[in-house]
Structure 1
Amino acid sequence: MSAEQQDKTAVAPHGFNMSVTSGLQRYSAPYGDLVLTSVFQPVFSLSHMRAIGYEGLLRAHDAFDRPVPPLDVFGEATRIGEVLQLDRLAQFLHLENFRLLGAEREWLFLNVHPGTLTEPYHTAALLANLQRLDLPPRRVVLEVLEEQAADLDALARAIALLRERGFLIALDDFGAGNVDIGRVWQLNPDIVKLDRIMLLHAAHRADMAATLPALVALLHEAGKLVLFEGVETEQEAQLALSCNADFVQGFFFARPAPGLADAAQTRSVIAEATERFRSQTEARERGTASRLAPYVRAFERAAERLGAGEPMEEVCWNFLGLTHAARCFLLDANGRQAERNVVLRVDRAQHDARFLPLDEAQGANWLRRPYFRAALAAPGRVHVTAPYLSITEALPCVTLSMAVHVGARLCVLCGDIDWISDEPE
């Protein structure tokens, strides 16, 4: 901190007290029988490998210097009708202490009650404090918990005005209650913070672990940056990396503290986690390639025989004889399937009778499927999809495809493989 900055902070704002702990200046404020102050939880960019922001968190102590949970403080304030006043006090405290941090480029993540944003008086007070502290709105990310909003339309209008003034908006605790993507479109935040509960579910449920990357991808498609909060373990850090999260915060990377994050330690922690992610990803990819190799070889041979004029019903037998091969089918150049699926085992038709209406695929058009388009774009080689949900049986599958000339016609030969996720790779 420069001498000029120290001079500016030498006098505490009215009603605030200044203390120095471990060489760090910070403000505190009385609230009833409590003393309130700030700590800051770093927010890290996994790509930049450094802190790109700090979330202001309230800390409270009673007259005997015993910590009081912030939830209890806000709960009591809500009970006596002072939640907006306490919210403003916490904002004021975080702004003052953020200035003392000496952060030059990082954002301040500031939790705000929706009522603070929809009341012009409270918004004006926030803007006045920023102007007094010479902190531009672009340095502030307003974290909004939409479930607390009494009028969502009014909140959406207020958020739009605040974004016009330069603030960034984060939708907090997404996934903690009802996961409603409609709220994202309505409130149009810049950042969506995924609640820790989603990481906990994904760490213990394979279906959630498979779905979470798709949710992040959907939010990215909607133009939103994604922050995983509450990352506390190595497994959760790896989940964040595998989901392509933009930002993370949590005890695994750094705990809340009065001062700035240790840049060298941050870089080391993220670098080590990223290296483990690279190593694990490469091992999975090698395992998947090894698992698919016999299917690819048999499929290549089937395509070769088909191109040489052998009947479709005969060329696929070696492929379909492999353990998890499900079916083969042939598409014309427009993606239409002229004939029925070729299935070796009789029990395929009765795999799950609930989906029997989808079993007959003759006449279906698979023009929209990536495996069809990929094969036409690069004829003569086998294309392998990522695992996806097969419409035929509503089970995960991988499809092999290859464009091949059958007589004078260009066709696409396809082969489905049941993708048993718990099978060793």
Structure 2
Amino acid sequence: MIGFALAEDLPTPPRPLIDDDGRRRTVRYGGLTLFSAFEPIFSVSHMRAAGYEARLRAHDELNQSVSPLEVFGQAARLGDLLELDRLSQSLHLANFRGLEQEQGWLFLNIHPAAIADFRHGTALIEEMKRLDIPPQRVVLQMLEQPNLDPRRMLETVQLFRRHGFLIAIDSFGAGHSNIDRVWKVQPDIVKLDRSMVLQATQQPHVARVLPGLVALLHESGRLVLVEGIASEQEALIAIEANVDFVQGHYFARPSVSATDPAAAYRRFDQLIDQYRLRTAERERDEKDELAPYVAAVALAARHLTEGAPVENACAPFLRLADAARCFILDERGRQTGDNLLPMRPLRPRAKRFMPLLSSEGARWDRRPYFQRAVAGSGEVQATRPYLSINEAHLCVTLSVAYAGTDGHTHVLCADIDWTRHDRSTHAPVELAVR
């Protein structure tokens, strides 16, 4: 590219030339023209843009696009990396004013090398004062790097936070990111890398884990954003995971102008309606799949109340295709007797977990299936799919409390091997079935 012939011709970094027409600013940097594009970040609940992420764009002298990686790579070779980072931030701040957004945030990326330089933060703060942009309007995005001094990073974060900036950890779940960084930095927003939601479209176990990860981050006091949404399926997975914000080409591409709020509202309104319909349809399908197992457990509980031996009461359930086991808990959640298993050979995976198959005397009072059965007034309860400790396969447990002939409350539990049923990328909800 013509713009990069300067790397050999110039011993010093190019001098930037600013072109500002009062509404939109561009910068001439060597043979390149730099400008800002803004990608909307949407609040799912509000169904509108809550802010914009600034993206650096560049054209060479032939008006051909040059990637930001090439621009920063060239600056690094010329020893101009921090100056270019400051220049791009100044460019974005000026152009953000041109968007005329009175409420939204500006998401700004900070190059990892700049985090260790306090002068960088001071220059940013001074530029914002000059442009009359309050720090609480700016979210600083920090990409995790393995060679970043954690002490210096935390000092820089504290400096920015004292001035009122919001902090986001970028691309969490990819590269060198780890949950420990979340506990230390305590960002306001965690941006999940698009690879996580992409994998969730392909692997059901990732789709099941994603809502739990979002819930964990919420419980730690962080808002959650998923970046890079590229399809309707990915958008629905993000909504089901209960994320707060989304961004990506499926919703809007980076642009020099603000997004249309009416169009965004219609898109989200339709998407959330579709999510509700899909959820209701999935619940109906799951209820139909569970119906024969639920009926067998309810019948077994009635027989146990009448004093039938547990082996006889559970036999109809254990004859069903994916029945895994039955077991009885006392009113304290302690298992009385060992597991009752179907009359078929153990599957190869179960044989690998033989030390855990015998459970007589085990306490399961911590488990949701026990707690929900005790509170369930005789209704058969169904858990979400989870990993069975007995055989380490995906399992749904049905449970129901019943009055034993000894005058005490007992809980009948029945496990279903859910591996074969796990076809979708979404986790079933907990059910209570009469």
| Fold shared by both chains (TM-score > 0.5) | yes
Amino acid aligned to 2:74: E
Alignment partner, residue 415 of structure 1 = 414
Alignment partner, residue 3 of structure 1 = none
Aligned residues with identical type, % of pairs:
49
| Counterpart Cα distance in 2 of 1:383 and 1:316 | 16
**Alpha carbons 1:146, 1:152 under 8 Å: kept:** no
Question: Out of 53, 63, 88, which is 1:55 matched to?
Answer: 53
Amino acid aligned to 1:415: A
Relative to structure 1, the CA distance from residue 148 to residue 340 in structure 2 (aligned partners, 3 Å threshold; closer, same or farther) is closer
Relative to structure 1, the CA distance from residue 113 to residue 148 in structure 2 (aligned partners, 3 Å threshold; closer, same or farther) is farther
Alignment partner, residue 8 of structure 2 = none
Alignment partner, residue 169 of structure 2 = 171
Alignment partner, residue 293 of structure 1 = 291
Alignment of 1:380-419 (within 5 A): 380-406=378-404, 407-419=406-418
Relative to structure 1, the CA distance from residue 364 to residue 148 in structure 2 (aligned partners, 3 Å threshold; closer, same or farther) is closer
Alignment of 1:7-406 (within 5 A): 15-19=17-21, 25-147=23-145, 150-348=148-346, 352-406=350-404
Displacement after TM superposition at 1:365 (Å): 0.8
Cα deviation per residue 1:293-343 (whole Å; 9 max; x = unaligned)? 111111111111111111111111111111111111011111111210111
**Alpha carbons 1:195, 1:229 under 8 Å: kept:** yes
Displacement after TM superposition at 1:413 (Å): 1.0
Alignment partner, residue 4 of structure 1 = none
Relative to structure 1, the CA distance from residue 340 to residue 161 in structure 2 (aligned partners, 3 Å threshold; closer, same or farther) is same
Amino acid aligned to 1:159: V
**Alpha carbons 2:118, 2:156 under 8 Å: kept:** no
Displacement after TM superposition at 1:149 (Å): 5.4
Displacement after TM superposition at 1:211 (Å): 2.2
| Counterpart Cα distance in 2 of 1:329 and 1:51 | 52
Secondary structure of the structure 1 residue equivalent to 2:152: helix
Displacement after TM superposition at 1:359 (Å): 0.4
Amino acid aligned to 1:412: V
Q: Let me know the Cα RMSD of the aligned residues.
A: 1.8
Displacement after TM superposition at 1:186 (Å): 1.7
Displacement after TM superposition at 1:178 (Å): 3.8
Amino acid aligned to 2:151: D
Relative to structure 1, the CA distance from residue 199 to residue 349 in structure 2 (aligned partners, 3 Å threshold; closer, same or farther) is closer
Cα deviation per residue 1:164-217 (whole Å; 9 max; x = unaligned)? 321111111112214411121122111111112222222222222222222222
Cα deviation per residue 1:44-64 (whole Å; 9 max; x = unaligned)? 011100000001110111122
The farther-off stretch of 201-210 and 187-196 is 201-210
| Counterpart Cα distance in 1 of 2:378 and 2:218 | 34
Amino acid aligned to 1:118: A
| Counterpart Cα distance in 2 of 1:350 and 1:92 | 62
Aligned length: 408
| Counterpart Cα distance in 2 of 1:155 and 1:351 | 46
**Alpha carbons 1:115, 1:149 under 8 Å: kept:** no
| Counterpart Cα distance in 2 of 1:124 and 1:351 | 59
Relative to structure 1, the CA distance from residue 85 to residue 212 in structure 2 (aligned partners, 3 Å threshold; closer, same or farther) is same
| TM norm structure 1 | 0.92
Secondary structure of the structure 2 residue equivalent to 1:340: strand
| Counterpart Cα distance in 2 of 1:178 and 1:242 | 26
Displacement after TM superposition at 1:79 (Å): 2.3
Q: Which runs of 5+ in 1 are unaligned?
A: 1-13
Secondary structure of the structure 1 residue equivalent to 2:238: helix
Cα deviation per residue 1:254-290 (whole Å; 9 max; x = unaligned)? 1111111101111111112112111111110000011
**Alpha carbons 1:326, 1:348 under 8 Å: kept:** no
| Counterpart Cα distance in 1 of 2:33 and 2:97 | 20
Secondary structure of the structure 1 residue equivalent to 2:24: strand
| Counterpart Cα distance in 1 of 2:112 and 2:297 | 58
**Alpha carbons 2:17, 2:29 under 8 Å: kept:** no
| Counterpart Cα distance in 1 of 2:272 and 2:51 | 20
Amino acid aligned to 2:53: E
Amino acid aligned to 1:413: L
The farther-off stretch of 279-288 and 174-183 is 174-183
Q: Which runs of 5+ in 2 are unaligned?
A: 1-15, 429-434
| TM norm structure 2 | 0.90
**Alpha carbons 1:230, 1:249 under 8 Å: kept:** yes
**Alpha carbons 1:349, 1:359 under 8 Å: kept:** no
**Alpha carbons 2:323, 2:342 under 8 Å: kept:** no
Cα deviation per residue 1:334-374 (whole Å; 9 max; x = unaligned)? 11112101113242476522100000001111111011111
Displacement after TM superposition at 1:153 (Å): 2.2
**Alpha carbons 1:113, 1:148 under 8 Å: kept:** no
| Counterpart Cα distance in 2 of 1:321 and 1:165 | 66
